[in-house]
Structure 1
Amino acid sequence: MLSQYAHAAWRLQGGLLDSPPSAIAQTRDGYIWIGSRSGLLRFDGVSFHHWQSPAGQVKLRDPVVSLLGAQDDSLWIGTVHGLFHWKEHRLIAFPRYVSRIDAIAEGSNGTIWLARSRLGMDRRGPLCRVSGEKVHCFGVADGVPFDGGSALAVDAAGAVWMGGVASILRYSSDGHVSVYPMKSSILKGLPSAVSCLSADPSGGVWVGIAYAGPGLGLEYFENGRYSSTHVPAFASSRLRVTTTYRDRSGSLWVGTSNDGLYRIEGHSIQHYSSLDGLSSNDVHQFMEDAEGDLWVITSNGIDRFRDLAVTTYSLAQHLSSNEIDSVFTSRDGSVWSLSDGGINVLKRGVVTAVRLRRQITGKQLEASLEDREGRVWIAMDKGLYLYSQGRFLPVTRRSGKPIGPVLSMAQDPAGLIWCVSLGHGDNKLFHFDPATRIAEPAGVQQAYLFRVIPDIHQGVWTLSIQGEVAHLVHGKNADILEYKLRPPGKQVSTILQGTGGTLYIWSTSGLTLVRGSRHRFLPGISGDACLHTYSDIFDRGGNMWVASRCGITRYAARDVKEWWRASKLTFHHPLRLGPSDGVAVSGPVFTPAVSRSADGRLWFATDNGLQTLDPADLSLNANPPPVFVERLLADHHVYPLANLVRLPARSRDLEIDYTALSFPSPRKVFFRYRLRGYDDGWQNAGTRRQAFYTNLEPGKYSFQVIACNNSGVWNQQGAALNFIVMPAWYQMPWFRFLAVLAILGILTALYLRRVSLIEREMTLRFSERMTERMRIARELHDTLLQAMQGLVLSISSFSSQAVVSSEVREELERSLDHADRLLVSGRNRIRDLRGEGGESETLLASLSTLVSQIFGSASSKVRFTCEGIARPIHAFAREEVLMIASEALSNACFHSDADEVQVQVSYHDNAFRIAIRDNGNGFDAGASPEGHFGIRGMRERAADIGAHLEVQSAPGHGTEVCVTVAAERAYEQPSGWLRRRFRRLRH
């Protein structure tokens, strides 16, 4: 019924529409188009946008009165002054045919037909056929006698039907015209009466007439005859029909000018007017969209009707109350519902009420049950009754007293009926034989019970408010407690047993499964509204349906089977139905709160009516929504969409508007998007239809967006927009290259400046040291050497005059020879102090001289190696390096007892390095003996030239002395090193 459909309305008072709508159509891309006095609007389910043709094209300024979404994905637009065609982003006008386009229709072969009026002096006729951009009209010369056409329809044979003032005509595919006038005299002198035509698959035509009266209103024309509709209690001639429409299911929708709309479905007539929520009783047009929704254009807005997955029966369907306390289905297919208003039985779509006898006290109907013999048991707030042949027979205790209000009932496999009764302190459990109706208290004490269900083998299961679960069996002599468990979790709400015997116990903390003497607890998500359950049941396919605060959820059979092996609640294929699917989120206290009828339908008792769904036919939306990028804004400026949009340099704030065309429930349309070149992955946008980006770097980007419809079906292809952010002049590659060169030039200049400063500092220090050394050399020459030379001369004179033995004389001569050598050595050191001699020698030559002086005849055990290309060394650094080398060689010669000494000189681009290694005795490098200043002196000399000295030695493992000097402090020509660096970079 229409009252069970989802209905939405957009009224003029809401401000979304600025003028009354007059026409509606949907193009194959999914957009819905609305014609109105103010022009053309495009609707995406959320927003109405005034549509304008692109710049440079013809403009649409006239009121729109008719629309057609054609098979070729184009839109035909009829206005009060002519025809327009929007196709492939181009608006085409037909200026030669200035008239009112009242109706547009399309044949199965794609031919477009027009019905036009207000022709004025145009005698080309009211019926026109469009081929490409050519229009051919048929008038009196072609057998069309009408001055104007008001309605069109194309039948299955390809014939075109047109309505006029008081007649309709049929234009067959071979060009034959047949005219069928109406016999009503009321139409004489009136304006065009035929307001609409709808072709019937049987070959007839439904004719809508804008006036009421005998033979008017809604007529059916077939085989040359008009007839009124033959539906009981429906007077179609009293209607002022404005529009008709035949939907995909075969139902006929009829719109009137003053009485809302009607739907004719077989012999069923359903009426819907402004009293029911229609935006206006003046209906102009119907349209069924691609998703099956039915749209209605009225004088005051737009309405939409949608069939729901969940159907509700309420007061509107003649139930006694909307608050249903319990529901069960009987063997004969009828559905029983209990409420505070009484008992209702729904059978074959008809609701009947069960009359309650006057002697039955109480108003609150509670739990209910049909046993295996087909007997119906009804609980009221004063007791429990068997309903049989219109009579209510009470169930009492042996004392004759009623058992009190009943929360829950169940019949065990042995036929015994168990019930949980209130009003006995802690909720007492009773059982009785249906034949005697004498209730006995259960022999096992359990507190605060509120649920009882049958076990598939024997006995029953009970559930307490405190969460305690127990299995009870009625024995010959006493009731037996077979099993008892208190599952983890709080606020236990429902208990259900599967066909295999597994128990499913829902709580706000999760789900407990009981199988035999074993149980498992599967924790859920804390605070999940779906864990606040009201009722649950299995369908024929083994899927579990659970009614909860979040709606009705279907857990697939494969998920249910995997729960026993799972560690937590997992759902691979859940289906959740909510308010947009017709679900009323609430649940009763009593049982059964859900039942399954013989045809497989599920019935739920709620506080908002009796609800039902067919698990095999949920009317789900299987159409992936078309997705579009609608607008691109950069810094609040709109850019036309193209294959590649070019955005100007320094575009700062970017906004991309997108949409998905799914109309049943736009609030359940969810989006994901990503910007290739910026985003790492998909962004979940929820229902938001805009994406924002700021300060994008210059380059190419691709924006992609996908969406799902209200049933969770995703359009994985989605839509894409490619754009490029142009670089500013300072972001161009050539500018960046020049900037890099400039930075390199600055760094090079700074480096050379640094080298120059170091050279200057070293030259100054060397000059100061040479001055000091020359002073020392003069002092040594004038004092020590002169005194020693005088001493040698005196001893020599003495030895020549004194009379001594030959042995003493020889000893004196050896001493004098040694003194001469000391004098020569002293003069050499003075010459070195003055910096005279040796400057022209290479470093290797100087090292070779040192080795010869120190090792003498043992020079052969010293081996030289050289790495790199030899370069001139700063005099200051050269002298210190030679002194360090001299000390290291002396130690190797006189103290290490080495068999082999290796001298390695390395000329690297970034440093100069000399290493002296021996395989002698070695020593503890961490402890320098007192009085030995060799290593200390080497370190001081290294520090003077900013070098790094490293001494490695260990007893029995030889010694290695390594000096490393940075290139700018070691080499005289660092610029050559820099040039070699550049050469290496180029290659």
Structure 2
Amino acid sequence: MNNLRIPLLIPAMCFWFCCFVSSVWAVDPGRHISQYGHTAWRVQDGFLNAGVYTITQTVDGYMWIGTQNGLVRFDGVRFVPWVLPAGQHLPSSIITSLLGARDGSLWIGTTSGLSHWVNHNLMNVDLPGVVTQILEDRNGTIWFNSRGDGALHGPLCQIVATGFRCYGKAEGIPAYASVLAEDSQGNLWIGGASEVVRWTAESHSVYTTRGLRSSEGQSGVTSLVASPDGSIWAGMSFAGPDPKLQQLVRGAWKAFQAPRFEGATLPISALFLDRQGSLWIGVYSQGIYRVHGENVDHFRSADGLSDDFVQHFYEDREGNLWVGSDKGIDLFHDVPVATFAPHQALDVSEVDSVLTSRDGTVWVGSDSALEGLHGDQVSLIRTGKGLPGNQVTSLFEDHAGRLWVGIDETLSICTNGKFFQIRRDGGGPVGWVYAIAEDADRNIWAETLNKGTKSLLRIRNFRVVEELPAPQTPAARSIAPDPQGGIWLGLLNGDLARVRRGRTETFHFEHKQDSRVEQVTANPDGSVLGATEFGLIGWKEGKRQNLATNNGLPCDWVHAFVPDDHGALWLYMQCGLVEISGAEMEKWWKQPDGPVQVRVFDVFDGVRPGRSSPFAAAGRSADGRMWFGHGAVLQVIDPAHLASNPFPPPVHVEELVADRKAYSPIDGLQIPALTRELEIDYTALSFVVPQKVRFRYKLEGHDAEWQEPGTRRQAFYNDLAPGRYRFRVIACNNDGIWNEDGATLNLSVAPAWFQTNWVRALCVAFVLCTTWVFYRLRTRQIASAISARFDERLSERTRMARELHDTFLQTIQGSKFVVDDGLEDPLDAVKMHHALGQVSAWLEQAIEEGRAALNSLRSSTILKNDLGPALKRAAESGVVPDGMTISVSVIGDARELHPIVRDELYRIGREAIQNAKAHSHGSSLEIDLTYGQDLALHIRDNGVGIDPDYAMNGREGHFGLRGMRERAARIGARLTILNSAESGTDILVVVAGNVSFTHPDTGMFSRLRSLYRRAARHRDPS
């Protein structure tokens, strides 16, 4: 509700300082009311639910509107009915008067008493009766009028401490006093039933006037205004023909009379004196009159006012004028671009041509008149009343100050209100004149249309001396003199042409479609500019270029353009009025495709762009103002006197909505846990053009940069984690003046129980411990399983060694004994024969026993790190099929292997090699042994492959493949057999590194080195 950062006293001081400074920032009294920016919010449109009685602005910048049905707060965009905290209430819902005090509080007058809203608390003054007006004097004292039971209190009361003191008839207060004013001397002026009283606590003076009378119980004076010169304006509502607006000057009443003040005898409902000294008058059922000096202007519901019954006037700190009526509220503010239209200081029904003459007159041609505007003077020549025709198609002033006018199918010179027609040879009219120009040789050129034929005429000494018909000379829409001689033509097809010394040269431009050049201008530096539907075209030293939306213009269609006195170019476009500085134009000439910085005036600045006029309509008057006409209106801007809004807007955070529940923006607000959607509503209080107020916001703790929502007044978040945040929002007014302090709000999002830090710490610790435990258990499980297998194998070896010792070796030893016995008597043939027979039998037995032992347990074929060479020897030993090439590669650094792993992997590899040599019928056999993070053996051939059934189940009576799988399972290896009749057999055996290596090395260096060597081998197979 409040700016949560700045103490209340500071904005109060700033507010009143701004009010003092803004004495020059107010609605311009030199304009008609209809030329101000005007916005109306009507009850019938749903903006308000009742008529408006009173308006005020508080120090925080909010506008407060008192209605017949409650109090409403307004920020320029949203009307918000004021809702009091629980347990507090106003004496009545009918608000009759309001005052935004200098201390930031709000005084509220109702039909049943007075209330004071301060520091979010409402204090009711125990005073029955209708409070008609509240005033704060220069000393900060609060005064108010009250109509009630006169026996209980007087009609004028003063706030004293927490109570009040009233003054009545005994102190010189008139009966039924209902209006107050303070003059420059500090005197109070009080309007009563039949007099006006100047009053102080020490003395008072009574002033009556003839005709001032009222019905019993009613005030005859409805409004009082004190002028800086000491005079008092009084508005009255009594019956009768006497003037209702009177001025008290030096003690004497003077009725105000003016020719255009038709409401002189009508009852007056409200008076107001603005900062420029203009007197605003609300007249019952007649709308608004404004008096400035002797000039009177009138504005009513027929002109757009919300209602003709005006109840109240108010001027805010930015100089905007507010009008409260019985059916709504109106806002008037100055705009940079003023409009002259029918019934808005313009007496013609349309604007077809515009000329700004050297004597300061602005000539406007229409379909029925020629109007001249010169200051406050207006001259009008109508059809049938001096104008020889209807349509004024073109206007031009020559070097001698003569006015050339194209009227219907004629061209005339206007002198002292008389028209002299220019004719062709033979006496005929020249035709419809679309453009006129004068070259350096004082020739007058006119582009005409006569009986369907376009022609360019050269006029000398008021005679047509040359005619250049189309297509001999291209059909043109506009003409401009060339400072170097000749003329430039803006053609109907969007191109430019130059006519010089009887020669015509055409310059073509690239564009999407034909579009006439509505205006052309040749500058002293030799450059030429043209206004077209596809942008501003330019020609300079043979170079053609186009300025359009791709350069930064808000749209493409340029109707007309005018340079100002400072070198800037002003473009009157389809979407607004655009200013381009001289420096930016120079940059564009040098960089045709580069961006151009522009200033845009749009509808909020008073521009009324629209359809293009069929005739040229632009010019700059002698005072530097620029005039543009199109269709129905004439518009003017004064670049040298563009007032800007100097007041940065107060910024407020208004409300937070968390998961569709609203919260007041209290500093330190805590949002509930698990909030999914957060909306922060904010506003900035600038009422000149609220639609142009722009914002930036940042949620510190979430946003790294300022967010740019434009004119949006809400910030949305749906991903806020628990924690503390600081929301900052700043804003600028319609002229880009930023309030860098803005508003701030500290808030926090509460964590759910599972989002607290201690729960998170416990969860992290639990996950780490669980992971570590599972890892240790799994490692132990694998190590135990492999150790058990190794122990089993070692036990088996021990058993087989024992059996060999007990069988095979014993048999050999016994055979030795028999041989030794036979050798003792070598001549005994019978004994020798018997011994040899026994040895033969025993040797046969030994062979069987040895074969059995070897089949069950063979000694280790390799030692330590000799696995690679052993596989190579196994591949090259025995019979190698003719035509088969064998390659053996060791990738990575050889490392010491566990003996069991070494033996089993060798046997798996040897079996695969023998199978490939015997059965693959291939031409190549590749063997790769890779030492990496794991140990991998890869054997592949390009032969006929293995029968799928054999690959899955093995061949009956043979145990090669089955043995390979069993050996791989014993050491925990992964065996993969890929088989294809086209690509042969591919066998891969992978053993985990922590099982294979006696000292595992899983470092990144080893893996990278292995990959490098593999890549090198593929690049160079040799």
Q: Which structure 2 residues correspond to residues 688-707 of structure 1 after superposition, within 5 A? A: 688-707=712-731
**1:770 and 1:833 in contact (8 A); partners too:** no
Mark the CA change 1:73 to 1:560 in structure 2 (over 3 Å): closer, same or farther.
farther
Amino-acid identity (%): 37
1:676 aligns with 2:700: yes
Inter-partner Cα distance in structure 2 for 1:674 and 1:423: 66
| Residue in structure 2 matching 1:496, options 521, 530, 547 | 521
Q: Which structure 2 residues correspond to residues 570-969 of structure 1 after superposition, within 5 A? A: 570-578=595-603, 581-591=606-616, 593-789=617-813, 879-880=899-900, 945=971, 966=993
How far apart are 1:157 and its partner, in Å?
1.6
| Residue in structure 1 matching 2:493, options 443, 466, 472 | 466
Inter-partner Cα distance in structure 1 for 2:549 and 2:199: 67
The amino acid across from 2:743 in the alignment is: A
**2:321 and 2:332 in contact (8 A); partners too:** yes
The amino acid across from 2:273 in the alignment is: R
Mark the CA change 1:333 to 1:511 in structure 2 (over 3 Å): closer, same or farther.
closer
Q: Which residue of 2 aligns with 1:116?
A: 146
The amino acid across from 1:165 in the alignment is: A
Inter-partner Cα distance in structure 1 for 2:494 and 2:268: 62
How far apart are 1:794 and its partner, in Å?
7.3
| Residue in structure 1 matching 2:341, options 285, 292, 314 | 314
TM-score when normalising by structure 1: 0.78
How far apart are 1:658 and its partner, in Å?
2.1
Inter-partner Cα distance in structure 1 for 2:605 and 2:933: 82
| Residue in structure 2 matching 1:5, options 25, 36, 42 | 36
How far apart are 1:257 and its partner, in Å?
2.4
The amino acid across from 2:495 in the alignment is: E
Q: Which residue of 1 aligns with 2:354?
A: 327
Q: Which residue of 2 aligns with 1:133?
A: 162
Inter-partner Cα distance in structure 1 for 2:704 and 2:790: 61
Instruction: List per-residue Cα deviations over 1:825-854 (Å, max 9, x = no partner).
Output: x9xx99x9999xxxxxxxxxx999xxxxxx
| Residue in structure 2 matching 1:78, options 89, 109, 122 | 109
Mark the CA change 1:360 to 1:631 in structure 2 (over 3 Å): closer, same or farther.
closer
1:270 aligns with 2:297: yes
The amino acid across from 1:720 in the alignment is: T
How far apart are 1:613 and its partner, in Å?
1.5
Inter-partner Cα distance in structure 1 for 2:553 and 2:563: 22
Q: Which residue of 2 aligns with 1:550?
A: 575
Mark the CA change 1:966 to 1:203 in structure 2 (over 3 Å): closer, same or farther.
same
| Residue in structure 2 matching 1:51, options 82, 88, 91 | 82
How far apart are 1:103 and its partner, in Å?
1.0
Mark the CA change 1:798 to 1:502 in structure 2 (over 3 Å): closer, same or farther.
farther
Inter-partner Cα distance in structure 2 for 1:606 and 1:433: 31
Inter-partner Cα distance in structure 1 for 2:516 and 2:805: 112
| Residue in structure 2 matching 1:225, options 245, 252, 257 | 252
The amino acid across from 1:645 in the alignment is: L
Mark the CA change 1:202 to 1:965 in structure 2 (over 3 Å): closer, same or farther.
same
Query: What SS does the corresponding residue of 2:754 show, helix, strand or coil?
Result: helix
1:105 aligns with 2:130: no
Inter-partner Cα distance in structure 2 for 1:734 and 1:443: 91
Structure 2 gap segments, 5+ residues each = 1-31, 828-849, 866-895, 908-930, 942-962, 975-989, 1001-1022
How far apart are 1:286 and its partner, in Å?
0.3
Mark the CA change 1:688 to 1:359 in structure 2 (over 3 Å): closer, same or farther.
closer
| Residue in structure 2 matching 1:202, options 229, 242, 255 | 229
Q: Which structure 2 residues correspond to residues 246-257 of structure 1 after superposition, within 5 A? A: 246-257=273-284
Inter-partner Cα distance in structure 2 for 1:463 and 1:547: 17
Q: Which residue of 2 aligns with 1:903?
A: none
Inter-partner Cα distance in structure 1 for 2:236 and 2:684: 38
Q: Which residue of 1 aligns with 2:987?
A: none
How far apart are 1:329 and its partner, in Å?
1.1
Mark the CA change 1:367 to 1:786 in structure 2 (over 3 Å): closer, same or farther.
farther
How far apart are 1:926 and its partner, in Å?
12
Higher mean displacement: 490-499 or 437-446: 437-446
**2:552 and 2:595 in contact (8 A); partners too:** no
Instruction: List per-residue Cα deviations over 1:733-758 (Å, max 9, x = no partner).
Output: 12222222332343234324423431
Higher mean displacement: 392-401 or 228-237: 228-237
Q: Which structure 2 residues correspond to residues 451-490 of structure 1 after superposition, within 5 A? A: 451-473=478-500, 475=501, 479-481=502-504, 484-487=507-510, 490=513
Mark the CA change 1:259 to 1:590 in structure 2 (over 3 Å): closer, same or farther.
closer
Q: Which residue of 2 aligns with 1:516?
A: 541
1:151 aligns with 2:179: yes
**2:447 and 2:457 in contact (8 A); partners too:** yes
Q: Which structure 2 residues correspond to residues 165-244 of structure 1 after superposition, within 5 A? A: 165-172=193-200, 175-184=202-211, 186-187=213-214, 189=216, 191-213=218-240, 217-232=244-259, 234=261, 238-244=265-271
Query: What SS does the corresponding residue of 2:34 show, helix, strand or coil?
Result: helix
Inter-partner Cα distance in structure 2 for 1:968 and 1:676: 54
Inter-partner Cα distance in structure 1 for 2:824 and 2:91: 139
**1:119 and 1:147 in contact (8 A); partners too:** no
**2:35 and 2:338 in contact (8 A); partners too:** yes
How far apart are 1:717 and its partner, in Å?
3.7
Inter-partner Cα distance in structure 2 for 1:550 and 1:359: 37
Inter-partner Cα distance in structure 2 for 1:648 and 1:443: 80
How far apart are 1:285 and its partner, in Å?
0.8
Query: What SS does the corresponding residue of 1:374 show, helix, strand or coil?
Result: coil
1:366 aligns with 2:393: yes
Higher mean displacement: 58-67 or 785-794: 785-794
Query: What SS does the corresponding residue of 2:76 show, helix, strand or coil?
Result: coil
Mark the CA change 1:341 to 1:716 in structure 2 (over 3 Å): closer, same or farther.
farther
Inter-partner Cα distance in structure 1 for 2:214 and 2:123: 38
Instruction: List per-residue Cα deviations over 1:60-90 (Å, max 9, x = no partner).
Output: 6442111111222222111222222223333
**2:531 and 2:560 in contact (8 A); partners too:** no
TM-score when normalising by structure 2: 0.76
1:429 aligns with 2:449: no
Inter-partner Cα distance in structure 2 for 1:971 and 1:137: 108
Inter-partner Cα distance in structure 1 for 2:498 and 2:858: 114
How far apart are 1:115 and its partner, in Å?
2.1
Mark the CA change 1:631 to 1:167 in structure 2 (over 3 Å): closer, same or farther.
same
1:37 aligns with 2:60: no
How far apart are 1:945 and its partner, in Å?
4.3
How far apart are 1:327 and its partner, in Å?
0.4
Q: Which residue of 1 aligns with 2:13?
A: none
Mark the CA change 1:800 to 1:575 in structure 2 (over 3 Å): closer, same or farther.
farther
Q: Which residue of 2 aligns with 1:19?
A: 50
Query: What SS does the corresponding residue of 2:567 show, helix, strand or coil?
Result: coil
How far apart are 1:632 and its partner, in Å?
0.9
Inter-partner Cα distance in structure 2 for 1:589 and 1:185: 58
The amino acid across from 2:728 in the alignment is: Q
1:413 aligns with 2:440: yes
How far apart are 1:439 and its partner, in Å?
4.7
Aligned-residue CA RMSD (Å): 4.1
**1:52 and 1:60 in contact (8 A); partners too:** no
**2:193 and 2:213 in contact (8 A); partners too:** no
Mark the CA change 1:416 to 1:971 in structure 2 (over 3 Å): closer, same or farther.
same
Mark the CA change 1:563 to 1:799 in structure 2 (over 3 Å): closer, same or farther.
farther
The amino acid across from 1:276 in the alignment is: D
How far apart are 1:500 and its partner, in Å?
3.0
Q: Which residue of 1 aligns with 2:557?
A: 532
Inter-partner Cα distance in structure 1 for 2:47 and 2:384: 55
Mark the CA change 1:154 to 1:661 in structure 2 (over 3 Å): closer, same or farther.
same
Structure 1 gap segments, 5+ residues each = 804-825, 836-845, 849-872, 888-910, 916-924, 929-936, 949-962, 974-987
**1:85 and 1:93 in contact (8 A); partners too:** yes
Instruction: List per-residue Cα deviations over 1:504-532 (Å, max 9, x = no partner).
Output: 23445444432223334456339976211
